[in-house]
Amino acid sequence: MFGKGFLWLSVLLSFTGLARSENRYPIIPKPARIEAREGRFILSSTTVVRVPAGNAELRTVAEQFARQVRTASGLALQIQSTNESVSPERMLELKPVGDPGLGAEGYRMDIRPQTITIEAVQPAGFYYAIQSLYQLLPPQILSASRVAAPTDWFVPAGWIEDKPRYQYRGLHLDVARHFFPVSFLKKYIDLLALHKFNTFHWHLTDDQGWRIEIKKYPKLTQVGSQRRETLIGHYYEADPQEFDGQPYGGFYTQDEVREVVRYAQSKHVTVIPEIEMPGHALAALAAYPEYGCSNGPYETATKWGIFSDIFCPYEKTFNFLEDILTEVMALFHGPYIHIGGDECPKAAWKKSPYCQQLIKKLKLKNENQLQSYFTARIDRFITSKGRKMIGWDEIMDGSAPPIQVSPSATVMSWRGVEGGIRAARLGHDVIMTPENFVYLDHYQGNRAQEPLAFGRLTPLGETYSYDPSPASLPASVQKHMIGVQASVWTEYLKTPGQVEYMVWPRAAAVAELAWTPVEQKSWPDFTQRLPDLFRRLDYLQTAYSRTYYAVRVEPVPQPDGSLRVALLTNEKPAEIRYSTDGSEPGSQSTRYEQPVPLTRSAIVKAVAVKNGQVIGEVQRWSFVVSKATGKTIRLATPTSRPRNADPAILTDGQYGTTVGYLQEMQGVAGVKTADLNATIDLLEPQSVQTVTIGLVKATAGNILLPRTVEVAVSADGQTFHTLKTVPMNPTERGKQAIVRQTISFEPVRSRYVRIIARNVGKVPAGMPKAGQDAWVVADEITIE
């Protein structure tokens, strides 16, 4: 699955050559203003890049551009100072102007057949203009090696005036859960900068690993950067949980950190370090247990989640953290230092006599205010060093007199949008990164076929739809919404290719909502620019996702018990080719023209095809057709997982899936503590001799198999006769799965069929969560 972005290169080149999308200006993020013109500017060996004499920063921008052009095309552009008298045949001129309306990052670009003139106030503006210029050139221009010469290296004529909507435009990467080499970080920054992000948020520490060298405390990397093994699969995927048994580690030396920071600066990207506190601290406590409330011993976490052991607010702990932050601030030169502050359980503080005495001494209300005290102490220290503190939105939870976070603290809102709005109303600058829109570790398509991801589904269109500061917010709140960030957590992302697959193209959508004026945003227009984005990513050897091209399915049960399966694709000009015989569909397979009728169980496979070439991954779905398909089903107890789900999903003809976290299971329905009691109306008496019910087993999440499954029938829907009861084993553990229980009996004619999966009620003794409420969760029910 990963790395397939590379494989598309040869396919695309075979039929696209220098073909552009219908959009002549396929820039992402879309500029604020574009005026189209006829004609084009052609780069050639006689093209001169002119920069102001003595302006070293602009000469660097020009040299970067010329170097990339030569790498990809072989064209050796000349760089010339404006005081030289030679009049070039074709010229690209970088021309500083004193226009405050452009701001520090804005630019104007006037493209004519003989000249391109770029105007900006600051070097960043010129740099971003060049990023737009790359995207106007053929996508081959971004190749890391010489490519076959196209007919022309051209830029469409036009006029662009552009500047960002937000001052903060960030892309985050968690290197604590999984470690990534400096070479990948540089590539990550390259892609970030190409799309006009200006901030790299580097999540360096967490429970599962400490990744930055601190000279004064060498055990942070000697011990804290290592874990003895790593969880396999999702958190609730197996009971007991399974681990790989492989030691895992890695960290960045201070020289490597400096190297990354310098590289980012050359791309006009600021790096923000995150040092987590007071929670997510197990790796640090494993190295220095004296800073925890119980003094340990502690161990670097081998699985994901939230852990109760956190930093204890001793004076020595603050000295320890201030020493760390002093070394960190010497390495990072931007204005911000991120201190985390999220997901901080208070159990250790509640048990600690020291913490309880401190709460009384400071006249605090509770442990939440103790966290505010902790945060305020760190905030004062960071502020005293001329920096600004950023924290996740939990830093506001206990903020109230007598302990409050300083107004200069910036809040990063991740738990939806309300936390950010609240902070902005209180006068804090806010960076919006709500998990339901811009967390890029979520699934982006069919969970059953996508690579392992966090669990939730956040497709490209949902990310693009987000507006960080809608017009409905008052101006007093709007002014504090300083930016937006996409976050990339790596619990389930082990390799650079996996990260790239999750990030692109969704990061491009975030780039556009961070840069482009909201009135210029257009989902149809964005999708027209996607083919050019994908071609550029091919030349940048980036393992992006093509899930946008994946065919989707909508099965509709029919009154006669059959199914009609509708197939859909986002790419409207594309064809859909499909099969129902188990074969892999391709460009020559049956063309989809109308919903596919299914009168018996089948596997449907489909793929999008454009210009005779397959453009997406093959998708597959299992459908089952039985006497129960599409029939009315009634549950005696309403579903509570998911809450109030339509019982019809149990007879819709499509198997469910347990892929992802428990709350994201699809096509299933369950009840807590009660029996799952389902009655199906066959509409008329029919011969019945077999009932199959899918039952979810996920004992790590208290979803147990039932004690028994009973089948009963009725002629009138009131009086039922039990045909057969089969025992099951609620204590059966193992991997999360759907167990399909078939119950057969002598044929009987009946209109109503009742299936009762009897809940054990409470998790039995001897199981990990003994005594807790148990669930029974069912998948598709079939009747033959």
pLDDT of residue 89: 79
pLDDT of residue 14: 33
Closest CA to 610 of 579, 571, 578, 583: 571
Closest CA to 68 of 193, 255, 176, 236: 193
Asked if the bond preceding 345 is cis, omega within 30° of 0, the reply is no
Catalytic residue chosen out of the listed positions 203, 280, 338, 428: 280
Annotation marks residue 237 as catalytic: no
- The first and second tokens of residue 504, run together, are 């692109």
pLDDT of residue 2: 39
Phi, psi for 781 (deg, rounded to 5):
-110, 130
pLDDT of residue 3: 40
Catalytic residue chosen out of the listed positions 206, 213, 309, 441: 206
**Average of per-residue pLDDT across 152-176:** 97
Annotation marks residue 268 as catalytic: no
List, in order, residues 6 or more apart from 255 with CB less than 8 Å away: none
Interatomic CA distance for residues 493 and 669, integer angstroms: 29
- List the alpha helices (DSSP H) in 493-522: 496-503, 506-515
Band of the pLDDT at 515, cuts 50, 70, 90? very high
CB 236 within 8 A of CB 304: no
pTM of the model: 0.94
CB 108 within 8 A of CB 120: yes
Query: Does residue 241 surpass a pLDDT of 70?
Result: yes
Q: E strand or H helix at 746, and its extent?
A: strand 737-758
**Average of per-residue pLDDT across 629-639:** 94
Q: Is 84 helix (H, G, I), strand (E, B) or coil?
A: coil
Question: Residues 557-576: pLDDT tens digits?
Answer: 998 889 999 999 988 789 99
CB 347 within 8 A of CB 322: no
Burial of residue 307 (number of CB atoms within 10 Å: 0-12, 13-18, 19+): buried
Catalytic residue chosen out of the listed positions 343, 435, 462, 467: 343
Question: Residues 312-367: pLDDT tens digits?
Answer: 999 999 999 999 999 999 999 999 999 999 999 999 999 999 999 999 999 999 99
Please tell me which residue, 640 or 524, carries the higher pLDDT value.
524
Interatomic CA distance for residues 9 and 586, integer angstroms: 18
Annotation marks residue 280 as catalytic: yes
Interatomic CA distance for residues 207 and 223, integer angstroms: 12
> Quick one: CA dihedral 694, 698, 699, 702, positive or negative?
negative
Q: What is the DSSP string of 170-214?
A: EEEEE-SSS---HHHHHHHHHHHHHTT--EEEEE-EETTEE-B--
Closest CA to 651 of 747, 779, 472: 779
Domains with residue ranges and CATH for the chain: 33-162 (3.30.379.10), 168-539 (3.20.20.80), 550-623 (2.60.40.10), 632-783 (2.60.120.260)
